[in-house]
Amino acid sequence: DIQMTQSPSTLSASVGDRVTITCRASETVDRWLAWYQQKPGKAPKLLIYTVSNLQTGVSSRFSGSGSGTEFTLTINSLQPDDFGIYYCQQYFTSPYTFGQGTRLEI
């Protein structure tokens, strides 16, 4: 199985900051990488797919980059509502696997 490792595990930031979360795959996932945001008691919400494509309705403050085994999610101008846990997911090959999550505290 492809292992997805995120860093950092926890991130504390302030409103207005720019933050970056990294996701590393144990082998190449080409560009088949998605990012989700999850808030307490809620289902994950798709933010970005295929590395850098913004899901409809998601703020342009979110952006993604990378390819192969290393990927980043960047959030510009952090807002209070951006708190939550962020997960990357590879869908290059099954079993589709997720990173362990990055908790973003505002």
Partner 1 sequence: QVQLVQSGAGVKEPGASVKVSCKPSGYNFIDYYIHWVRQVPGQGLEWMGWINPKTGNTKYAQKFQGRVTMTRDTSISTASLELSALTFGDTAIYHCARSTWNFHYFDFWGQGTLVTVSS
Quick check: 102 binds partner 1 (CB under 8 A)? no
Quick check: 94 binds partner 1 (CB under 8 A)? yes
Q: Which stretch binds partner 1 (CB under 8 A): 9-17, 20-28, 62-70, 92-100?
A: 92-100
Quick check: 83 binds partner 1 (CB under 8 A)? no
HEC string of the chain equals: CCCEEEECCEEECCCCCCEEEEEEECCCCCCCEEEEEECCCCCCEEEEECCCEECCCCCCCEEEEEECCEEEEEECCCCHHHCEEEEEEECCCCCCEECCCEEEEC
Please say which residue, 78 or 99, places its beta carbon nearer to partner 1: 99
Quick check: 71 binds partner 1 (CB under 8 A)? no
Given the rule CB under 8 A, which residues bind partner 1? 32, 34, 36, 42-46, 49-50, 55, 87, 89, 91, 94-101
